[in-house]
Amino acid sequence: MQVTMKRLTGKKALVTGGSRGIGAAIVERLAHQGASVAYTHRGHDHATHAAGEHSKSDGAAYAIEADSADPEALSRAVEKAAQTLGGIDIFVSSAGTLLFKPIEEFTLDEFNRVVAVDRRAAYVGSKAVLGHMGEGGRIVFVSSNIADHAALPMTSLYSMAKSGLDGLCKGMARDLGPKQITVNTVHPGPINTDANPENGPFSDRLKSLMATPKYGRPEDVAGLVAYLVSDEAAFASGAAYRIDNAFAA
């Protein structure tokens, strides 16, 4: 479906992990709806490709290299985005990492990496962004339906890291409510990305858990995020929104 509404015209957005998968779709949707968007990436090749795609949109998109697992790098990226855009109205913490294996096989380094990217980065990024966000700002954390429905084995660390985003979201929604800043999480189910392709090794099992045996598209998630960061969603805060084809129903 072609999106023609420009309900984000004049808004300034930062999306972490915005060069591929769900993050890239979010950048594209926000830019198409008129926002100026900065996004972080870890690899030049992905960012170059993404920038070419985003240049087709109505808004503008700017790539900033930063590893979300590095708090200092992420904070610097926020400062650069604010300087480039002239402020930040919207922050979407989309960067994530997937690592599935039995709990007894995880190393402490792997544990720390998963927590750093999938949980801590949302806090670090939000804290840095708030210095540049005025009243009516929007914050969205991209979580996972596995956060509250670990339907498969080998998902313990990912589930733990993502579930923490809901607690952070609820507390921040209370703290930031007086500034009219909303905070929400989005819980995608199986989405066709490089990290979890619809023809991958887990796809048959995942399809069997949904209302219809099909994966979602990154654009599906982007549409929900675009609504939550718009003025229309001013009354939506402190909540988790599933988009998972009844996976967790």
User: Which residues belong to the active site?
Assistant: 158
Neighbour order of strands in the sheet with 182-188: 61-65, 36-41, 12-16, 90-93, 138-142, 182-188, 240-243
- Residue 156's CB: how many other CB atoms inside 10 A? 16
Measured on CA atoms in the order 23, 29, 32, 36, is the torsion positive or negative? negative
Angle of helix 156-176 relative to helix 121-130, nearest 10 degrees? 20
Please state, in angstroms and rounded to a whole number, the distance separating the CA atoms of residues 38 and 49: 15
Give which of 247, 191, 233 is closest to 7, Cα–Cα. 233
